């Protein structure tokens, strides 16, 4: 049903989105927890920085990545000279671009999840011999799991659809950086490409709906398993 | 045994408390908002005092001037919270064993079965906290604290969330814990009758000051 070029785009998108989500997860959990639980100087700046990709034209973060991580950029040159890693115009760069753009969508639900957890549960854990890190791992993180799952699915879906930043940072190279949205755009611009563009657009919609349904189902399941719903019952 | 002289301030509320507390059960009684819970949180290591010292059995746990502050998880004081604070994602059994598993085998004073029998909670072990009644929760929270084999048991209005009938059911369990375990306890409540029923001696608290 799909042509080899269309399959390529689909496979590449899935791979990029998966890696972007995995890359975002540890940072997303850390930042979500910090924003929910800690007051510190410059908190507003961290919040703004996290949200920035959502309100900027996507091409701007993409361009910024090119300036920083491109072969001539300060970090990009260092990565190449020290480790032989090139990000610009490679699928790994597409992972970075997607991760930056999808990060806010992960942080938001994670932050809300941590905020909903009564911090006295972690205090109770520390009075039972758990270090704060231990209390985080055994109490806060499992209770925040529904939020982490929901955020991960959103992050994954957003990565599947990333266009502007990817285009600016890693271009539109078939088989390397031409993900679903870029393939759709490319097919739209060639004669007779309409059928392929339409198929891929339909596929994108189906994938997005599937991801949202999966997120809903996973969250509900986690909430039930964790007895999480009960946890929010007002106390007497 | 327990000696402290602590000062704490937050948002214009000043707490000053000094006492020397001997073994056995000590009650701290006072109206709500007088700082009883804050005092327990200071003793447990959940809040940092502004100044003062705290020692237990001759060991200094807090000395603000010397920048010494033994963290909560190294004090081995179990704190039973007002509403139990059972971990909602764990079964009753895993809740009970949370602190137990963090104690070396040689430091454990109680075994699961003993505590299940003492508090009559054996049939509940497979349940989640959501499936417990208020009275059952109180007993599980108490059991969880006991299984941690604390050096000192801090009880912060453990019955406040219960109605009068349930309170009358749980109080004998608390007395039984005191008589059978001989754990030193600090019992905080606004209800004088409760405190007097359980405690060997009672201290009063008012407006952030401990009256001795």
Model pLDDT, residue A218: 83
Q: Is the pLDDT at A219 greater than 90, yes or no?
A: no
Per-residue pLDDT, averaged over B137-164, amounts to 89
Most confident range (mean pLDDT) of A20-34, A147-161, B169-183 is A20-34
**Host domain of residue B7:** 2-211
- Per the DSSP assignment, residues forming a β-bridge with B51 are B7
Model pLDDT, residue A56: 92
- State both tokens at A162: 């990333």
The residue of chain A with its CA nearest to that of B144 is: A128
**B27 by DSSP, 3-state: which?**
strand
Q: Checking DSSP bridges between strand B2-10 and strand B152-156, what pairing results, if any?
A: unpaired
* Contact: B85, A121; criterion CB under 8 Å: yes
Per-residue pLDDT, averaged over A77-95, amounts to 91
Q: Is the pLDDT at B72 greater than 60, yes or no?
A: yes
Quote the mean pLDDT of chain A: 89
Residue A35 CA to residue A47 CA, distance in Å, equals 8
End-to-end CA distance of chain B: 16
Q: Which residues of A touch B46 (CB under 8 A)?
A: 123, 126-127
Q: How far does Cα A1 stand from its chain's mean position?
A: 30
Residue of B10, B69, B85, B88 to mutate for A, most A C-beta atoms under 10 A: B88
Contact B158, B80 (CB under 8 A): yes
Model pLDDT for residues B74-96, shown as the tens digit of each residue: 999 999 988 889 999 999 999 99
Please state the domain extents for chain A.
4-231
A140-144, A182-186, A218-222: the lowest-pLDDT one: A218-222
Model pLDDT, residue A228: 57
Q: Is the pLDDT at B166 greater than 90, yes or no?
A: no
* Contact: B99, A128; criterion CB under 8 Å: yes
Residue B57 CA to residue B74 CA, distance in Å, equals 15
Q: Is the pLDDT at A230 greater than 70, yes or no?
A: no
CATH number of A4-231: 1.10.3720.10
Model pLDDT for residues B108-129, shown as the tens digit of each residue: 888 899 889 888 889 999 999 9
Residue B19 CA to residue B2 CA, distance in Å, equals 8
- Give me the DSSP letters along A159-175: HHT--HHHHHHH---TT
* Contact: B102, A142; criterion CB under 8 Å: no
* Contact: B45, A127; criterion CB under 8 Å: yes
Quote the mean pLDDT of chain B: 89
Q: Which residues of B touch A129 (CB under 8 A)?
A: 73, 76, 99, 102-103, 148
Q: What is the CATH number of the domain that holds B86?
A: 3.40.50.300
Share of chain B above pLDDT 90, in %: 44
Quote ipTM for the complex: 0.90
Per-residue pLDDT, averaged over B26-44, amounts to 90
Q: Which residues of B touch A138 (CB under 8 A)?
A: 87, 98
Q: Is the pLDDT at A236 greater than 50, yes or no?
A: no
Model pLDDT for residues A26-84, shown as the tens digit of each residue: 999 999 999 998 888 989 999 999 999 989 999 999 999 999 999 888 999 999 999 98
Q: Which residues of A touch B77 (CB under 8 A)?
A: 127
Model pLDDT, residue B8: 93
Model pLDDT, residue A234: 40
Q: How many domains does chain B have?
A: 1
Model pLDDT for residues A98-136, shown as the tens digit of each residue: 999 999 999 999 999 999 898 899 999 999 999 999 999
Per-residue pLDDT, averaged over A195-218, amounts to 89
Query: Rounded to 5 degrees, what angle do the CA atoms B23, B27, B33 make?
Result: 140
Question: Which residues of chain B are at the A interface, by a Cβ-Cβ cutoff of 8 Å?
Answer: 44-46, 71-73, 75-79, 81, 83, 85, 87-89, 98-99, 102-103, 128-130, 134, 144-145, 148, 154, 161
Q: Which residues of B touch A235 (CB under 8 A)?
A: 83, 161
**A127 vs B72, B88, B161: nearest CB:** B72
């Amino acid at each position: 049903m799909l042509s080899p070029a269309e399959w390529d785009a689909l496979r590449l998108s899935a791979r990029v989105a998966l890696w972007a989500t995995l890359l975002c997860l540890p940072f997303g959990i850390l930042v979500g927890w910090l924003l929910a639980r800690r007051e510190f100087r410059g908190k507003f700046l961290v919040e703004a920085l996290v949200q920035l990709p959502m309100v900027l034209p996507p091409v701007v973060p993409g361009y910024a990545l090119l300036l920083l991580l491109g072969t001539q950029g300060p970090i990009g040159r260092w990565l190449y000279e020290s480790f032989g890693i090139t990000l610009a115009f490679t699928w790994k760069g597409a992972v970075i671009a997607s991760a930056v753009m999808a990060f806010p969508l992960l942080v938001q639900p994670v932050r809300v999840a941590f905020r909903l957890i009564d911090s006295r549960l972690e205090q109770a854990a520390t009075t039972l011999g758990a270090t704060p890190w231990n209390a985080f791992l055994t109490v806060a993180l499992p209770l925040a799991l529904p939020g982490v799952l929901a955020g991960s699915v959103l992050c994954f879906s957003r990565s599947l659809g990333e266009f502007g930043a990817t285009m600016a940072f890693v271009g539109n190279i078939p088989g390397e950086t031409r993900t679903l949205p870029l393939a759709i755009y490319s097919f739209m611009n060639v004669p007779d490409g309409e059928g392929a563009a339409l198929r891929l657009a339909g596929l994108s919609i189906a994938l997005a709906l599937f991801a949202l349904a999966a997120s809903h189902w996973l969250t509900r399941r986690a909430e039930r398993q964790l007895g999480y719903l009960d946890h929010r019952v007002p106390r007497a | 045994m327990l000696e402290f002289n602590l000062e704490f301030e937050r948002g214009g509320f000043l707490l000053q408390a000094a006492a020397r507390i001997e073994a056995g059960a000590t009650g701290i009684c006072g109206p709500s908002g007088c700082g009883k819970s804050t005092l327990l949180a200071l003793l447990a290591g959940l809040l940092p005092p502004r100044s003062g010292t705290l020692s237990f059995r001759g060991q200094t746990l807090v000395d603000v001037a010397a920048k010494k502050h033994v963290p909560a998880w190294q004090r081995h004081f179990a704190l039973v919270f007002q509403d139990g604070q059972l971990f909602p994602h764990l079964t009753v059994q895993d809740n009970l064993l949370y602190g137990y598993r963090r104690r070396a085998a040689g430091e454990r004073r109680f075994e699961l079965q003993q505590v299940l029998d003492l508090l009559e909670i054996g049939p509940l072990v497979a349940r989640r906290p959501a499936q417990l009644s208020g009275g059952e929760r109180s007993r599980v929270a108490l059991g969880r604290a006991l299984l941690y084999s604390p050096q000192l048991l801090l009880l912060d209005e453990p019955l406040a969330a219960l109605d009068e009938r349930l309170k009358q059911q749980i109080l004998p369990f608390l007395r039984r814990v005191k008589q059978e375990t001989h754990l030193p306890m600090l019992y905080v409540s606004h209800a004088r009758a409760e405190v007097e029923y359980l405690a060997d001696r009672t201290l009063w608290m008012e407006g952030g000051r401990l009256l001795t």
